Chain A
Amino acid sequence: MTDLTPEPLARPGRFGHFGGRFVPEALIPALEELDEARRKAMVDPAFLGELEMLHRTYTGRPSIITEVPRFAEHAGGARIVLKREDLNHTGSHKINNVLAQALLTKRMGKTRVIAETGAGQHGVATATAAALMGLDCVIYMGKVDTERQALNVARMRMLGAEVKAVPTGSATLKDAINDALRDWVTNVGDTHYILGTVTGPHPFPEMVRDFHRIIGVEARGQVLDLAGRLPDAVIACVGGGSNAMGIFHRFIDDAGVRLIGVEAGGEGVEGGRHAARFAASSPGVLHGTFSYLMQDDDGQTLESHSISAGLDYPSVGPEHAFLRDSGRAEYRYATDEQAMKAFELLCRTEGIIPAIESAHALAGAMEVGRELGPEALLLVNLSGRGDKDMHTAAEYFGLIDGDAVPSGTADEPRAEGDGRTQL
C-alpha cells in the first residue's frame, strides 16, 4: 500500500505538490478570511447544528442507498449499491456544498454571492440557497450554455438570481469561472464566490470536499448495515471532482477499498475530443490551482469535450491529482457512447433516470463488475438525477415523436455540442 502520509508542507492547501493559490494578490485577503471562517465554523456547534438541520429538513438527508440487482446482471453479476444523491432537493449532490458556503457567507457578513455554472445544476443550487437565506445572487454562465439551457436560466431567474451570459473565449464553463473570478476581485468586499467544485485556490478544494464528505460518511455506514462489510470499490464520476471527493474521502483509510474515478472520454481519447485529464494531459495551473490540465505546448488551455457539461472541464481537482499519483485512487474513463448505454440501462432495469454525469460512474461500474465478478460489492455515487438531461437523451435516442431507436444505432443525428447536460 502506498504511504499516504502527506509530505511536510511548506505551504497550506497542498495535496502533495498539487493545489496552491495561483491568483492575483488582490484575492489573497479574501481567501485568508474564508479559510479562517470555515476553520472556525467546522468546530462551532452552532454552525454544524444549523447545517445539520438544513440537511435534514431542507435537502432530505440522509440520502438513501438502493441496491440495483437487475442493473447488476449487466455488470458481471456483482452486487451494486447506489448512493442516491439524485434524491436531494435541487436534484444533485451540489446542494451540500452550496448550503454550507451560503451559511459561511452570512457568518462573514457578506450579502452577495456569485457562482459559475456549466449549464445549470450548481447555478440552480446556488440560486436556491440565496433565496433561502436572503442573499443577492449572480450566476455566470457561458453564452453557449444559456442559449441551449433556456429553461435552467428561467429556473435561476425564478429563484431571484441574475444570470449573466459570458460571451468570451469558448463561452462555456471555464469562461464562466473567469468572469466569476473577475467579479470577485472587483466586489470582494461584500461578495462571496460559491465555487461549485473541489478546484480553485486554497481553501476551496479542501473546503468543498469537507462539505461533501457527508456522502461517504453516510454511505459507509449504510453499506455496512446492508452487507455487513465494506465495498470492494467506490465508484464516482469526476468532472471537477466534488461528488467523487465527497464519497471517497471517508474510505481513504480503508486500504482494502478501491477508489475509482470515471472521467468523460467524450468521443474517444485518441481524437482529443474528451475530458479524460488523467488519460491524456499534464500538470499545469488553471483557475488558481496546480493539477492535471489539458493544455497545448505553450500552456494555453485546451477545450474539453463531453456529452455531459458537468464533466466537460479541462482540469480536475488537485486532491484527485494527488490520489492518482500516490496510487490511492485509480481513474478510467467512459465515452459518450458508453455513458449513454449505462444511462439507458439504469432507466430500463431499475426505473431510475440518472444524470448523464452519474451515468459515467455507472458505465465504470459495469466494467469493474465484469472484472471482479459476482463476489464483488460496488458502491456507486448516483450524484444527480436525469430530468435535466431529457433534451439530450431525447435527441440521442431519437425519442421525439415516439420513434425510439435502440441505443448504438442512435449515433446520428445530433448537433455538435447541442443538448449538453448540466454541471
Chain B
Amino acid sequence: MSIGVSEVLQRCREENRAALVCYLPVGYPTVEGSVAAMVAMVEAGADIVEVGIPYSDPLMDGPVIAYAADQALKHGVRVDDAFRATRAVRDAGAPPLVMSYWNLILRHGAKQFATDLAEAGGAGIITPDLIPDEADDWIAASDETGLDRIFLVAPSSTEERIAAVTSQCRGFVYAVSHMGVTGARTSMGDAASVIVSRTKAVTDLPVCVGLGVSDGTQAAEVAAYADGVIVGSALVRCLTEAPDLESGLTALRALVADLAEGVRSGR
C-alpha cells in the first residue's frame, strides 16, 4: 500500500512543519497539461495533491477556479480523467485526494466511484457540498475501500456541528479559513486560527486550512497553527495567466517551491 494522507501528515509533524496541500482541476488547460502540472507540483514540494473535478455548477468556487473548470468542461473533460490524474500523482510519489462536488460522484455511484478511485491509487475524497448528515452511502463506501473522507468545518460552524463533522472525518479535517468562496486573499485574518483551535479542541485529527492562501508568507503564517496549508486559486492562476503551458509550469514550480518554503518556516 502506498503512502497515505495520515502518514504524510505524521511525517510533517515529526519534521515540525505543516504539510503543503496543492489543488488543481483536471482538464485545465488540457487533460495532458493538468496531469503534467500536478506532477510538477509534487516535484516542486507539494506533500499532498488535490485532484479537482470540474463541475457545471461550482457554488463554492470563486472566479479563478470556476473559470478554469468551465474551460475544462468546454474542452470535454470527463470524470474518468480524474482517475488518470490520480494515477500520475500517485506515481510521482504523493497521495492524491479527489475534490469533487457531490452530484458527479452520485451519478457515478458512490460505491463504484470509491472502488475506481482506490484502484487508481487515490487516497480519499474531499466533498465541499456534502455534509456527513447526507453521506451514508459515501461513509459506507469509504469504509469498505479504506479511502479517507474529508468533510469541511467553517467559521460559522457551531461546537455541535464541529464535533459531528470531525467524528466522521478520516485523514484530516478541512477548515475553511473564512466565510466565502475559493480565491486568494490579501490577509488571512483571525478567523482561520480561531476555527483551527475550536476544531482541535474536539478532535485529534490533523486540521488543514483552505481558502485564501496565495504565497509563502501567508503559508508560513497559517503553518504556525495548522497541520496543513491548502492552496488552490493561486496555483490555478499560474496556469490561467501564462501565455503557454511551459511558462505556466515554470510559474507553478516557483510558487510551489515558495509555498513549500513557507510551510517549513512558520514555527
Which residues in A have some Cβ–Cβ distance to B below 8 Å? 11, 20-30, 168-169, 174-175, 178, 181-182, 185-189, 284-288, 293, 295, 297-301
Chain B residues in 8 Å Cβ range of A24: 59-60, 128-129, 152, 154, 176
- A300 to B105 Cα, complex, angstroms: 11
**CB atoms of A181 and B156 under 8 A apart:** no
**CB atoms of A298 and B78 under 8 A apart:** yes
- A215 to B70 Cα, complex, angstroms: 41
Question: What 1/0 mask marks residues of chain B from 119 to 152 whose CB sits below 8 Å from any chain A CB?
Answer: 0000000001111011000000000000000011
- CB of A338 to closest CB in B, whole Å: 29
**CB atoms of B107 and A295 under 8 A apart:** yes
Question: How many B residues, CB 8 Å from partner?
Answer: 41
Pick the 9 closest A-B CB pairs, nearest first: A299-B107, A26-B154, A186-B180, A285-B103, A299-B104, A300-B56, A301-B56, A299-B103, A181-B59
- A169 to B66 Cα, complex, angstroms: 9
Chain A residues in 8 Å Cβ range of B158: 29
Q: Is B157 among interface residues, defined by CB-CB distance under 8 A?
A: yes
Known: A182-B181, A186-B181. A25 touches B59 (CB 8 A): no
Q: Is B73 among interface residues, defined by CB-CB distance under 8 A?
A: yes
- CB of B170 to closest CB in A, whole Å: 16
Chain A residues in 8 Å Cβ range of B194: none
Measured CB to CB, the nearest residue on chain A to B174 is: A25
Q: Is B55 among interface residues, defined by CB-CB distance under 8 A?
A: yes
A-B contact list, 24 entries, CB within 8 Å: A11-B133, A22-B103, A22-B131, A24-B129, A26-B152, A26-B154, A26-B179, A27-B156, A29-B156, A29-B157, A30-B156, A181-B59, A182-B62, A185-B59, A185-B179, A188-B156, A285-B106, A286-B103, A287-B59, A288-B129, A298-B78, A299-B104, A299-B106, A301-B57
**CB atoms of B57 and A29 under 8 A apart:** no
Measured CB to CB, the nearest residue on chain A to B55 is: A300
Q: Is B161 among interface residues, defined by CB-CB distance under 8 A?
A: yes
Chain A residues in 8 Å Cβ range of B131: 21-23, 25, 28
- A22 to B128 Cα, complex, angstroms: 9
Chain A residues in 8 Å Cβ range of B157: 25-26, 28-29
Chain A residues in 8 Å Cβ range of B165: 25
Chain A residues in 8 Å Cβ range of B108: 298-299
- A30 to B154 Cα, complex, angstroms: 12
- A23 to B161 Cα, complex, angstroms: 14
